Amino acid sequence: MTSTAPKTYRVKSFGCQMNVYDGDRMSELLTQQGLSAAPEGEDADLVVLNTCHIREKAAEKVYSDIGRLRRDDGTVPLIAVAGCVAQAEGEEIMARAPSVKMVVGPQAYHRLPDMLERAKAGQRVTDTDMPAQTKFDALPKTRRANTSTFLTVQEGCDKFCTYCVVPYTRGAEISRPFKDLAEEARRLVEAGAREITLLGQNVNAWTGDNDKGQQVGLEGLIRDLAAIPDLARIRYTTSHPNDMTQALIDAHGEVDKLMPYLHLPVQSGSDRILRAMNRSHTVESYLEILKRVRAARPDIALSGDFIVGFPGETEEDFADTLRLIDQVSYSAAFSFKYSPRPGTPAATMDEQIAAEVMDDRLKRLQALVIEKQTAFNQASVGKVTQVLIEKRGRLEGQWLGKSPWLQSVHFEGDVAVGDLVTVELLQAGPNSLAGRLVF
């Protein structure tokens, strides 16, 4: 039996922003255990691969990443696989990758310290429980924060879209209590966060009792956080059309700190496909929501997610999706080729679409999205707006930040990370804008 006592760690997160949040929390746990983060470019004694299972390649990537962790001298670090692949394929990973010593699911990672003790003693440990008591209560209270930081407020999904693994990997929908979130947000701001993005698989399904004992939706939480003086900006993602309440829409018109950006995935522009996806909204009901959102906040930037090549998708269905994108004029959009996920209903549906057809549709869809994105950015040229500085740019003296509409903006000036500055937008490309510091 070998015994290893890791001193340094590295957490590598893949997939969605919630994995980034979870990865940060695991780092905090490991720090609390006395380990330190491995410096950039140096090998770590313990590597946590915090994985995503949403599409095929993501899972395959895990195995190649495991392989790549082998060092030149043939040794391997202590490897833990966390995240959604761990949840879905934990046993398979243990069987297929002997160098993996720990497998931990997204609802069990608060038990990582204990698992580490057992792994140090030479055991291989799997924990993919979904305990009734939430992990959040067991996580360290002290938080680290970047200028722009994530805060998980809601987790899990009860929607069961027929293509999606999330309800299986993350479990049922839960909302974290208002009080815990209000406290965590304040700690994040004390640690330097100026922007908080509230996260959830269905973030707008969040509900809780506020400090007056009234039941509120996400807008209630947003209004409370907006009262934190040093917090400049609030965002939230990802929302489901069915949980887009009028109260939340109204908040977009009333809460200055709530940024004018809404990510509201629709997936397809064809009602027939939406029905097969079990999305439980139609194109019309989706557009009606956007109309109300735009009435509350006319300058709002809209983004969405699209799947091309869902089983049975005809050229006509796809044309409907293109039409919807054209009509909405998204400021950004994420698009994916349908990937059959084991155990989901769509994986065994008839009429799976050929790879070449999907490739072609994805290319056409992305070309249209780039066109819309570029047009949106170009329409911003000439605006004088606030930019929150997140990091240094590639060039000497250059800074990178985000506009209220989540556009990347670069400019020069005597400023610092975390500053909220006024910038004139001068030039636009598909993915970023160049600006001039006004003050």
Question: Which is nearest to 18 in space by CA: 62, 82, 98?
Answer: 82
Among 307, 388, 421, 433, binds ligand SAH (CB under 6 A): 307
Binding mask 147-186 for ligand SF4 (x = CB under 6 A): ----------x-xxx--x-xx-------------------
Spatial CB neighbours of 120, under 8 Å, sequence gap ≥ 6: 3, 4, 5, 6
Q: How far is the CB of 265 from ligand SAH (least distance, A)?
A: 4
**Prior bond to 348 cis, omega within 30?**
no
Name the one range near ligand F3S by CB under 6 A: 47-55, 266-274, 373-381, 418-426: 47-55
52 lies in the binding site for ligand F3S (CB under 6 A): yes
Among 53, 159, 233, 337, binds ligand F3S (CB under 6 A): 53
Question: Which is nearest to 80 in space by CA: 172, 167, 13, 159?
Answer: 13
- The pair phi, psi for residue 190, each rounded to 5°, is -60, -30
State how far the Cα of 369 lies from the Cα of 330, in Å rounded to an integer.
7
Assess contact for 169 and 160: CB atoms under 8 A.
no
Question: Which is nearest to 67 in space by CA: 57, 58, 77, 55?
Answer: 77
266 lies in the binding site for ligand SF4 (CB under 6 A): no
244 lies in the binding site for ligand SF4 (CB under 6 A): no
Name the one range near ligand F3S by CB under 6 A: 14-22, 182-190, 297-305, 310-318: 14-22
State how far the Cα of 90 lies from the Cα of 115, in Å rounded to an integer.
15
- Return the number of the residue (55 or 240) whose C-beta is nearest ligand SF4: 240
303 lies in the binding site for ligand SAH (CB under 6 A): no
What 3 state SS string does 270-301 have?
CHHHHHHCCCCCCHHHHHHHHHHHHHHCCCCE
State how far the Cα of 418 lies from the Cα of 410, in Å rounded to an integer.
14
- Return the number of the residue (159 or 223) whose C-beta is nearest ligand SF4: 159
Q: How far is the CB of 365 from ligand SAH (least distance, A)?
A: 12
- Return the number of the residue (245 or 278) whose C-beta is nearest ligand F3S: 278
- Return the number of the residue (155 or 219) whose C-beta is nearest ligand SAH: 155
Q: Which residues bind ligand SF4 (CB under 6 A)?
A: 157, 159-161, 164, 166-167, 201-202, 240
> Which residues of the shown chain bind ligand F3S in the complex (CB under 6 A)?
15-16, 18-19, 52-54, 83-84, 165-166, 169-170
